[in-house]
Amino acid sequence: MSGDGTGRAVLFDVDGTLVDTTYLHTVAWWEALRRSGRRVPMSVIHRTIGMGSDQLLARFLGEDHDPDEAASVSASHHDLYAEYWPRLAPLDGAAELLRACADRGWTVVLASSARGDELDAMRRAVDADEVVTAATSSDDVEASKPAPDLVRSALDHARTTPDRAVFVGDTVWDVAACGRAGVPCVGVLSGGITRQELEEAGAAEVYENPADLLAHLDDSLLARASDRD
């Protein structure tokens, strides 16, 4: 990485992209909302996983919701989800994909809507920190996905420009954030969002999971973007 904006970077979402957490979040939000007297079907909650918790809560509690209720629900979700941290599991090929990207000379940066401590737990699960240049979380930005702030923060950490980066994510919120930041997005299906939904949102390519992307890495958008150098 040259540090002058000329290097290639691969930016990775983490929840549902590198670590198998999407449905754990769904269950944790479902229970947290129930504790507040809100009954929201898990199928509906699942569609919101990947956007920031502030935007998720606005959707389920209303734009003019009570801040105290939002804080209570968020705290409940955090405590419920934290119970899973010792057992978090990386998706197949996650660590190997990060290492393969680094081996090709691409700067690897994590960009997650999770809180900082949640991201730390996922990084421990993936166990590939030696090839991760930097990571940014919801703690570092004012607006979370689908706002472009996290993607732009990741670009800043990579010290590169949108035209020299590719983002890998699993939700339409990732794709939307990338579109607003001018970064092409490669989708994976490991978060439970369909290929059609990701493609209609604007994903440039879609793979089954990290292992599938790894198997096709040298034919993927990640490699083709680097070949333009």
Taking only the tens place, the pLDDT of each residue in 163-178 is 999 999 999 999 999 9
Q: What's the average model confidence in pLDDT over 123-129?
A: 98
Q: What is the pTM of this model?
A: 0.93
- Is the model's pLDDT at 144 over the cut of 90? no
* 188: pLDDT strictly greater than 50: yes
Q: What proportion of the chain, given as a percentage, has pLDDT over 70? A: 96
pLDDT tens-digit profile of 4-54?
445 799 999 999 999 999 999 999 999 999 999 999 999 999 999 998 888
Residue in 115, 117, 104 with CA at minimum distance from that of residue 137: 115
Tell me which H or E stretch contains 165.
strand 165-169
Q: Band of the pLDDT at 227, cuts 50, 70, 90?
A: low
For residue 163, give the DSSP letter: G
- Using DSSP's 3-state secondary structure scheme, residue 8 falls into coil
Closest CA to 17 of 50, 55, 56: 50
Q: Where are the alpha helices (DSSP H) in 42-193?
A: 42-46, 53-61, 67-82, 94-103, 116-126, 149-158, 172-181
